[in-house]
Amino acid sequence: MLFWIAGNAAWIDRRIGADTTAIDELRDRLVRFEQEHARNPTLTDLLVVLAAGFGITALAHALAGVIAPWIGANFPVLSDLALDSRFFWIVIIATTLGLALSFTRARQLEAVGASKIGSVALYVLVATIGMQIDITRVFTDPQLFALGLIWISVHAGLMLLTARLIRAPMFFMAVGSQANIGGAASAPVVASAFHPALAPVGVLLAVFGYTLGTYAAWLCGQILRQLVG
């Protein structure tokens, strides 16, 4: 569906009266940026990118292994908030450190394709998660499958309605939708369907969703836990 929208974006944008000037300017700016800064990565560049990714992951695991047990032993009341969970701290620390690095000179690694290397790692992660899925559970727990369909349908309906009301370009609607559902593993693919130079925008939207969602999801979980008693 999103790829069909990408192929017919110009026609749809005209029908709803969307102003695509910002998209055109962004596309041209990204093309110029890539032409001016892109360079072939050296072995050192690749090692630095991998070291940053694996280093943050290792540090997150190490710190979580200390923080979670300490909170559980000294502040048991916080266990109700999942603050004694090692996985919780791994995700929080890795997200925070990655976000912090984006404000340092490490962001210059994008010139050697850091986001592309990250995308490869994300595909490995998605494949690893997928290997743990038991597809037969669709038949044993059909209500969960139905819940997923309702969730996706409501999401799609709200996105389309909002795009129509505010006359947003289809690019933002499609890529924003996929960034929410598929994350950084698939949002760049949808963005590339509009123009290859726009792939980093898909990554950026997905990473922003991860960054916000990591904290917001925990907060939402605590609110729901309070509601059910």
- 145 with 34, same domain? yes
Tell me the residue range of the domain where 201 lies. Answer: 1-38+137-229
Residue 126 lies in a domain: no
- 10 with 53, same domain? no
Of 95, 112, 129, which one is at a domain's C-terminal end?
112
Of 71, 97, 112, which one is at a domain's C-terminal end?
112
Read off the pLDDT of each residue in 116-142 and give the average, rounded to a whole number.
79
Residue 128 lies in a domain: no
- 151 with 194, same domain? yes
Q: State pLDDT tens for residues 173-208.
A: 998 888 888 776 678 888 888 887 787 788 778 777
- 149 with 221, same domain? yes
- 152 with 173, same domain? yes
Q: State pLDDT tens for residues 152-163.
A: 899 889 998 998
pLDDT over 80 (residue 37)? no
Residue 122 lies in a domain: no
- 27 with 66, same domain? no
Q: State pLDDT tens for residues 42-66.
A: 999 999 999 999 999 999 999 999 9
Structural domains of the chain, count: 2
- 165 with 103, same domain? no
In the 3-class helix/strand/coil scheme, how is the chain assigned residue by residue? Answer: CHHHHHHCHHHHHHHHCCCCHHHHHHHHHHHHHHHHHCCCCCHHHHHHHHHHHHHHHHHHHHHHHHHHHHHHHHCHHHHHHCCCCHHHHHHHHHHHHHHHHCCCHHHHHHHHCHHHHHHHHHHHHHHHHHCCCCCCHHHHCHHHHHHHHHHHHHHHHHHHHHHHHHCCCHHHHHHHHHHHHCHHHCHHHHHHHHCHHHHHHHHHHHHHHHHHHHHHHHHHHHHHHHHCC
- 55 with 100, same domain? yes
pTM: 0.64
Q: What is the pLDDT of residue 52?
A: 92
- 92 with 43, same domain? yes
- 146 with 208, same domain? yes
